[in-house]
């Protein structure tokens, strides 16, 4: 079972410096899409932030804090709405939709609360499809079969998140807010952490870097 945070609603998290971003090096302004670091990983077109500093530190030792600007068009995915349903329908048009459960109604709405919607849930056909990619991935990356399978699963999750972000951006949103599963902070339970994806740099203030 996922432990869900008692997070303030998004309406209380706007125009307030409470959004943390972790990275390996500092910069002066946001770059969207962010620089690609690994040619073997699915690239992201958004930047990701959280209201929990310790969660942000998992992405890097350099931590910045920013604010969502007042006029930003951010979709709160923790609340059921017509816009959230539009995003679900848009995302479900992906050609591999029938291989995965993430965009089904019974998974979609609760998944934004638990964070599970941002973790790929494959049915039997989906698992077989992903496993069929192992030989090609192992050859392309020059890694073992086991490492190739790990990379495929990681990339599938990154691809899922990227697809959702691209769909939301195409609907005119500057960003989306929900929860993401954190399986690494504790060894005994899954945590749902506040998660913000921004695909328009004008929607948040420039990063202010925190001292260690």
pLDDT tens, position by position, 98-122: 999 999 999 999 999 999 999 999 9
Please report which confidence band the pLDDT of residue 11 belongs to, taking 50, 70 and 90 as the band edges.
confident
- Structural domain of 64: 13-209
Average pLDDT along the chain:
93
Determine, yes or no, domain membership for 144.
yes
Cα–Cα distance, 147 to 106 (Å, whole number): 32
| Residue 186, pLDDT above cutoff 90 | no
Determine, yes or no, domain membership for 6.
no
* pTM assigned to the model: 0.93
Determine, yes or no, domain membership for 160.
yes
Residue 115 Ramachandran class (φ > 0 left, ψ -120 to 50 alpha, else beta): left
What's the order of all strands across the beta sheet hosting 208-209?
19-23, 62-66, 208-209
Residue 189 confidence (pLDDT): 74
Determine, yes or no, domain membership for 4.
no
């Amino acid at each position: 079972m996922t432990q869900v945070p008692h997070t303030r609603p998004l309406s209380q998290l706007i125009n307030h410096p409470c959004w943390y971003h972790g990275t390996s090096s500092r910069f002066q302004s946001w770059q969207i899409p962010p620089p690609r670091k690994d040619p073997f990983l699915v690239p992201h077109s958004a930047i990701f932030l959280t209201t929990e500093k310790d969660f942000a530190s998992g992405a890097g030792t350099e931590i910045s804090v920013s604010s969502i600007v007042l006029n930003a068009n951010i979709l709160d995915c923790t609340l059921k709405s017509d816009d959230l349903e539009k995003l679900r329908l848009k995302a479900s048009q992906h050609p591999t939709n029938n291989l995965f459960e993430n965009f089904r109604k019974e998974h979609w709405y609760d998944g934004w609360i638990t964070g599970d919607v941002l973790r790929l849930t494959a049915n039997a056909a989906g698992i077989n499809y992903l496993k069929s990619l192992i030989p090609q991935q192992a050859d392309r990356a020059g890694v073992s079969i086991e490492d190739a399978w790990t990379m495929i699963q990681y990339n599938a999750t990154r691809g899922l998140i990227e697809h959702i972000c691209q769909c939301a951006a195409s609907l005119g949103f500057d960003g989306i807010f929900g929860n993401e599963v954190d399986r690494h902070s504790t060894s005994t339970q899954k945590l749902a952490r506040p998660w913000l994806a921004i695909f328009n740099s004008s929607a948040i203030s420039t990063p202010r870097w925190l001292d260690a």
